[in-house]
Amino acid sequence: MPVGVTQKIEKLQRNFLWGDGIEKRKIHAIDWETICKSKAKEGLGIGRMLVKNNALLAKWVWRFGRLNRVLGCKDNMDFWNDIKVGVRPLKDIYPIMFALASANNREVRKFGYWRGLSWKWDFKLRRPPFDWEKDQ
């Protein structure tokens, strides 16, 4: 999810919780950081949308690795060209990630490793993505 979308969702959450509207703004007795803390740390347990989004993305990456093993994705397959979503290769679906990848012609096995029954991704970028790249 783009960073801008997560910010808009959190703004809607804050406005709902504090009763803010277009015409009026109320005094906030508790800051947003405290509200986002877990209940064990004396917050409301709402959590940050960006953190939840990253956790969901990590879950999909993990699921993708398990799916490859179940479906028989071969370790020597080209990650960017041979793995397809529909008929399009990953490099066409995620062009920014492809451009930032430290190695564009790598086999699947070079993007991670198996530890027991779990796939551990080791995806390296040449540089961190800029904010505008994260939104795409």
Half-sphere exposure at residue 99, Cβ-oriented, CA atoms within 13 angstroms: 10
72 in the Ramachandran plot: left (φ > 0), alpha (ψ -120 to 50) or beta?
Answer: left
Residue 92 has pLDDT above 80, yes or no: yes
Residue predicted with more confidence, 10 or 121: 10
Six-digit token string for 107: 């086999």
Q: For residue 92, what are the CA distances in angstroms to 35, 78, 83, 108?
A: 40, 14, 11, 17
Predicted TM-score (pTM) of the model is 0.40
Where is average pLDDT lowest: 31-35, 38-42, 49-53, 59-63? Answer: 59-63
In terms of average pLDDT, the best of 7-16, 51-60, 72-81 is 7-16
Q: Which SS3 state, helix, strand or coil, does residue 93 take?
A: helix
**Residue 70 pLDDT > 50, yes or no?**
no
Q: How confident is the model at residue 71 (pLDDT cuts 50, 70, 90)?
A: very low
- Per-residue pLDDT tens over the stretch 22-37: 677 777 777 888 888 8
Question: Mean pLDDT throughout 96-121?
Answer: 77
Q: Cα dihedral sign for 51, 86, 84, 68?
A: positive
Cα angle vertex 27, ends 21, 32, to 5°? 85
Q: Where in the chain does DSSP place strands (E)?
A: 84-85, 88-89, 112-115, 118-121
Domain residue limits, the chain: 3-41, 57-126
Q: Which two tokens stand for residue 130?
A: 């800029």
Burial of 79 (0-12, 13-18, 19+ CB in 10 A): buried
